[in-house]
Amino acid sequence: MTSQATNENTVIREVAKDVWTFSSPFKRFDIVPFGGRSTAIKLTNGDVWVLASTPLNDVTKDKLTELGPVRWIIGADAVHYMFLSEFKKEYPEAKVIAVDASKANIKDGLTFDGAWGADSADTKYGFETDIQHCYFSGFRNKDVAFFHPESKSLIQADLLLNLPPTEQASSIYSKTGSSGRVPILNSIVTPTSWLQKRMSWALGDDKAAMKRDVKTTLGWDFTRIIPCHGDVIEKEAKEAWRTAFQFYLD
C-alpha cells in the first residue's frame, strides 16, 4: 500500500461546519488508486478529534493547529494504523483510540489509550457527547463507524467504498500524473453496486453481529457519508448505506 501525500497534493476542505477532510493519493496493493482521507472534527469544547488515515504533512498540521488542540487520534480499523504513531509523536497529549486488532502491526511501541475489541462494548472514551461509535466486530477488518450528529455525518474507513475517487482524480491525481481511475473496477465498486453488496456480505465473518451493527448505524440520522476511500456521499447517503448492507436486512 502506497500513500503519496505531499503538501502540494493534499486537498483540505470543510465539508460541514467544524468537519474537515484531508484527501491525498493512495494506492491499494501499490496499484489501485483508492485515494486516502483523514477527517478532523472540532468538538463543542474546542478539542479536535482526528480519524488519522493519511500522513501528517505540513499543510495538515497547519490546519489542525488552526482548528484547536488535537485531543483524540483515532484508528478506524485493523488496517488503518500506519499514521497513528506520527500523529501521536506530534500531539503527545492526545489519546490514541484504535482497534485492538491493529496492535499486532505496530512495531514502535505505540500505546493505545482505548481499544475497540478489547474494551467492553459499553466503554465511553470521552468524546461521545459529540461523536457516537459502533464497532463492527463481525467485519473482517474490524471497522468502527462514527456518527457526528451536529453535521449529520457518518465517518468510516472500509465498510463502504465509493469509487472512482473523482474528487481525488480531479484535484489530486491530476497533480501526480495519474487519472485516479481503474477501468471496470472503479465503475462497479460504488455503494449501490452488486459488488459492494457482495463484498459487504463476504467480509462479514459473523453475520449476526453484522446484522446488529448495520441496524444500529441505520438508526443514526445521517445525511452524509465520509469514507476514507472514494468520494464523500452528499446525497441519499442513508439509502446508499442501506443498499450496501442489503443482504443483512433481507
User: In angstroms, rounded to a whole number, what is the distance separating the alpha carbons of residues 213 and 216?
Assistant: 5
Could you say which DSSP state residue 32 is in? E
Q: Enter the pTM of the model.
A: 0.90
| Domain boundaries, given as residue ranges, for the chain | 2-116+129-248
Peptide bond into 164 cis (omega under 30): yes
90 pLDDT higher than 50: yes
Quick one: which of 73, 100, 71 has its CA closest to 86? 73
Band of residue 25 on the pLDDT scale cut at 50, 70, 90 = low
The pLDDT value recorded for residue 180 is: 45
Domain 2-116+129-248 has CATH 3.30.300.30: no
Band of residue 163 on the pLDDT scale cut at 50, 70, 90 = confident
130 pLDDT higher than 90: yes
Band of residue 2 on the pLDDT scale cut at 50, 70, 90 = very low
The pLDDT value recorded for residue 227 is: 95
